[in-house]
């Protein structure tokens, strides 16, 4: 069987507050269109210096817990050398070291192979940029 590679960019509006944006439906829709029941890998990538991707449970408080943990770990204050943008914006540029801008996930039978409570999310703490791009790429 010959492997095929298909990629697409999704535009996401995260708004003016820190957010954990669920991308799972975007991923599933993309795979329904391109995977054709094949096994492979889905790579999710966001080309931004101030956002990241995670696989976590959502809707039961874990998304808010993640944002709270990031606020504790990366306070929004004047300690950051990177100072353009809103106060504390330098922390947003450190975020991808803790929440990377990429994830590679298994696809089995054309469907994302996630655990029962897992979701693919965009983590965006940068309130200065509400418009994000996410690249979905399937190899299978």
pLDDT in tens, 17-44: 999 999 999 999 999 999 999 999 999 9
Q: In what order do the strands lie in the sheet with 19-22?
A: 19-22, 119-124, 51-56
Q: How many CB atoms neighbour CB 137 within 10 A?
A: 17
Strand partners, 53: 122
Share of the chain above pLDDT 70, in %: 99
**All domains of the chain, ordered by start, with CATH?**
5-139 (2.60.120.460)
Taking only the tens place, the pLDDT of each residue in 84-124 is 888 888 999 999 999 999 999 999 999 999 999 999 999 99
Model confidence, pTM: 0.94
The alpha carbon dihedral of 138, 136, 99, 83 has a sign of: positive
Q: In what order do the strands lie in the sheet with 131-139?
A: 5-13, 131-139, 40-45, 102-108, 111-112
């Amino acid at each position: 069987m010959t492997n095929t590679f298909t990629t697409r960019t999704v535009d996401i509006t995260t708004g003016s507050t820190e957010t954990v944006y669920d991308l799972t439906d975007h991923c599933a829709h993309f795979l329904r269109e391109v995977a054709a029941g094949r096994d492979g890998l889905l790579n999710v990538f966001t080309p931004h210096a101030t956002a990241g991707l995670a696989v976590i449970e959502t809707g039961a408080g874990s998304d808010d817990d993640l944002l709270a943990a990031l606020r504790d770990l990366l306070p929004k204050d004047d300690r950051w050398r990177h100072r353009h943008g809103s106060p504390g914006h330098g922390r947003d540029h450190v975020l991808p070291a803790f929440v990377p801008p990429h994830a590679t996930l298994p696809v089995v039978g054309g469907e994302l192979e996630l655990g029962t409570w897992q979701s693919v999310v965009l983590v965006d703490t940068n309130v200065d940029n509400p418009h994000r791009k996410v690249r979905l790429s399937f190899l299978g």
